[in-house]
Amino acid sequence: MNVPRLRSLGLGMLMTGVSCAAQATVLFESPAYPDVALTPAGYWCSTCAGLADSKVYGQFTLGSASAISAISFAIEASYGGPNWDILVQVWNSDRSTTLFSNTLNAGSYTLTTKLASGSGTDLVSASLGSLDLGAGDYWMSWHSSPQLAIPLYISIGSQSYQSGNNVTLTHYDPAFALLGRPSQSIPEPDTLALLGIGVAGFAFGHRYKARTVLTL
Q: What are the pLDDT digits (tens) for 170-185?
A: 999 999 999 999 987 4
Mean pLDDT per segment of 10 residues, for the chain of length 216 residues? 46 50 82 89 75 85 97 82 83 97 91 70 91 97 84 91 88 96 61 44 41 34
Instruction: Kindly report the pTM of this predicted structure.
Output: 0.75
* Per-residue pLDDT at 28: 97
* Per-residue pLDDT at 7: 52
Which amino acid type is present at position 31?
P
DSSP per residue over 100-152, as a string?
Answer: EEEEE-TTSSEEE---STTT-EEEEEEEEEEEEE-SEEEEEEEE-SS-EEEEE
Tell me which DSSP letter residue 184 carries.
P
* Per-residue pLDDT at 166: 87
179: left (phi over 0), alpha (psi -120 to 50) or beta: beta
* Per-residue pLDDT at 70: 97
